[in-house]
C-alpha cells in the first residue's frame, strides 16, 4: 500500500468517526469565539484564551471554579477573576448559556450557547444536555408590564451514578 492510499483510508475513518459519535470540534469553536471576541474589541490574553479553551473542552457544563482549577495547573498566572471576566465577555457576545442547578454553583455551556434543556441531578449536581424527542410547545403567559420573558426547560432527577450508589 502506498502512503497515499493509506492517507485516503485514514480520511474515510476520520469521517466515519465524526459522523457516528458527533465529535465536538474544539479547535473550530475556539477559532470562532476568538474571532467574535476580537470583533467586539476584547483583548485576547493567553490567560483568557486558556479560559475559553477550558470551557470548550469540558463537556460537563463546568463551573467557574472547575475551569479555574483546571487552568491553574498549566497556567498559574490565571486568576479566578480572569475566569469570571472571560465569562462576562462571552455573555456580552451571547456565546455562553448559564445553567442553574438546584444546588451548587452556576454552570456554563459554551459549546452550545443557544437555549436547550438539561438534565440536573438533585443528588450530586451533575448537568447533562437532555435529548428531546421533539420541540416542546412554548406556553403563553398572561401578564402585563414584563418584557423579554424567557422560558427554561430543565429536567430534575437522580443520575445513574447516584442511583447505583444508593443515594437516591
Ligand atoms: Zn448544555
For the chain, list the domains and their CATH numbers: 25-164 (1.10.10.10)
Q: Using the Cα atoms of residue 114, residue 117, residue 122 and residue 126 in order, give the sign of their dihedral.
A: negative
Ligand 1 center to 115 CA (angstroms):
8
Q: How do the pLDDT tens digits run along the chain, 168 residues long?
A: 334 444 333 333 333 333 334 688 999 999 999 999 999 999 999 999 999 999 999 999 999 999 999 999 899 999 999 999 999 999 999 999 999 987 889 999 999 999 899 999 999 999 999 998 888 788 888 899 998 888 888 999 999 999 999 855
CA of 128 to the centre of ligand 1 (A): 6
> What global pTM score does this model have?
0.79
CA distance 90 to 57: 15
Give 149 Cα–ligand 1 centroid separation in angstroms. 20
DSSP string, 94-146: T--EEE--SSSS-EEESSS-S---EEEETTT--EEE---SSPPPPPP---SS-
- List the grid coordinates of 129: 444536555
Amino acid at each position: 500500500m502506498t502512503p497515499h492510499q493509506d492517507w485516503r483510508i485514514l480520511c474515510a475513518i476520520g469521517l466515519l468517526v465524526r459522523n457516528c459519535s458527533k465529535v465536538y470540534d474544539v479547535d473550530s469553536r475556539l477559532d470562532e469565539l476568538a474571532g467574535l471576541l476580537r470583533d467586539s474589541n476584547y483583548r485576547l490574553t493567553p490567560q483568557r484564551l486558556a479560559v475559553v479553551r477550558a470551557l470548550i473542552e469540558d463537556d460537563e457544563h463546568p463551573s467557574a471554579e472547575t475551569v479555574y482549577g483546571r487552568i491553574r495547573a498549566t497556567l498559574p498566572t490565571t486568576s479566578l477573576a480572569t475566569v469570571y471576566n472571560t465569562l462576562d465577555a462571552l455573555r456580552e457576545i451571547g456565546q455562553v448559556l448559564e445553567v442553574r442547578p438546584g444546588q451548587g454553583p452556576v454552570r456554563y455551556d459554551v459549546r452550545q450557547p443557544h437555549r436547550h434543556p438539561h438534565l440536573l441531578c438533585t443528588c450530586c449536581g451533575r448537568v447533562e444536555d437532555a435529548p428531546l424527542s421533539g420541540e416542546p410547545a412554548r406556553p403563553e403567559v398572561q401578564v402585563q408590564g414584563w418584557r423579554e420573558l424567557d422560558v427554561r426547560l430543565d429536567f430534575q432527577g437522580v443520575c445513574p451514578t447516584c442511583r447505583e450508589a444508593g443515594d437516591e
